[in-house]
Amino acid sequence: MPLGHPQGALLAGKVPGPPPEFSRSERLVIAACAISMLIVQMDWFALNLALPAIARQFRVPPTDLQWVISGYMLSIGALMVTAGRLADIFGRRRIIVIGLAIFGILSAVCGAAPNEVWLIAARVVHGIGAALIFPLAGFVRIEGRVRAPLVNLALFRNRPFVAVVVAGSLSNVVFCFVAVFSALYLQSARGLSPFRCGLVFLALSAGAGFASYFSGRLAERFPADRLMAFGMLLSAVGIWGLTSVESLWTYTPLFLVTGVGLGLGWALANVATQAVVPLAAVGAASGVTLTSLVMLAAVSVAIAASVLELLAGSPQAAASDKHALDLVLRSGAVLALAGAAGLLLFGRR
């Protein structure tokens, strides 16, 4: 998820000067925040890969566990703004420490869950800890200076801003589709072990990580919304390829390409929104973007899991039905194409 944004010259479309030097304490804060976010992201990926094995242990269809993913993401999205306000009131360090404590304790509770109901409930609370870890203090601080209590609704009359938020949200939806349903395909339909599935998933993670790392530099040379559109087009091509090949030697490079496209799509969402809003609205724009990315993805995964069960004919057959899984994944490719088209038609001129 995009968690920061460039300032000043980058927002104005100019080449920025040398970045300021960070003090030792500032570097330590950045490192602590980065490690905290790494823990949250690793937890999401690890549990996603483990869902088929967990489903076998609990003797339930894997699609019945989609609320393990969706409930967690809904908690994060619903409480992100509240967590930022609490950080401003009680201090960011205290809130992050509390969030890490909740996250750690609930990780153990999730690991000890005796059934799927217990696990889903624990994951919802788990998401509260993750929400406290996510920074949103900058958003709340800026909001405190304006008359609107939370979000200036004028943002939604800004057509390029809406186009970027919708496209970024769709890109995150597609990323979740690929992560969740490709894991089901590789383990349930192809019979790969969780370890071998994890090795294949390294390609997706590497592609997304590579794109995220270089996205800021690319945004200094090219319009961020156009880069997002390119990434979404690339991911659509990659997903269509994933659903059309059998060999893992071909599947894995396509996974890498898909990861690059999706990484560009959601990593640049925050950058692109802030290039099309006034500087005074940057904080609000960031808060709206992050909340939209998480909430829409959570709801979409729940809907897609239900559609998968309908296509397969039963919850028991859904996870191993390659045709049904391909249709759900291809719907993700269509969403990526729609997001790219929206950016090209309604993005910044």
* Predicted pLDDT at 22: 66
Tens of pLDDT, residue by residue over 46-56, are 888 888 888 88
- Under 8 Å CB-to-CB from 219, ≥6 apart: which residues? 6, 10, 227, 268, 271, 272
Among the listed residues 150, 155, 131, 154, the one whose alpha carbon sits nearest the alpha carbon of residue 140: 150
Among the listed residues 211, 223, 151, the one whose alpha carbon sits nearest the alpha carbon of residue 175: 211
Tens of pLDDT, residue by residue over 289-307, are 888 888 888 889 889 998 9
Among the listed residues 31, 139, 28, the one whose alpha carbon sits nearest the alpha carbon of residue 88: 139
Distance CA 137, CA 120 (A): 29
Contacts 24+ apart (CB under 8 A), 238-244: 239/174, 239/178, 239/329, 239/330, 239/332, 239/333, 239/336, 240/330, 240/333, 242/178, 242/182, 242/329, 243/326, 243/329, 243/330, 243/333
* Predicted pLDDT at 135: 57
* Predicted pLDDT at 121: 93
What residue segments make up the domains of the chain, in order of their start? Answer: 22-145, 150-349
What is the pTM assigned to this prediction? 0.80
* Predicted pLDDT at 232: 95
Task: Spell out the per-residue pLDDT of the chain, length 349, in tens.
Answer: 443 443 333 444 444 455 556 677 767 777 777 787 778 878 887 888 888 888 888 988 888 888 888 888 888 888 877 777 777 778 777 888 888 899 889 989 988 999 999 999 999 999 898 888 875 745 544 444 445 445 667 777 888 888 888 999 999 999 999 999 999 999 999 999 989 999 999 999 999 989 988 888 888 888 888 999 999 999 999 999 999 999 999 999 999 999 999 999 888 887 888 778 887 777 667 777 888 888 888 889 889 998 999 998 888 888 889 999 999 999 999 999 999 999 888 876 5
Cα 57 from chain centroid (whole Å): 28
150-349 maps to CATH 1.20.1250.20: yes
- Under 8 Å CB-to-CB from 287, ≥6 apart: which residues? 80, 81, 84, 136, 139, 140, 143, 151
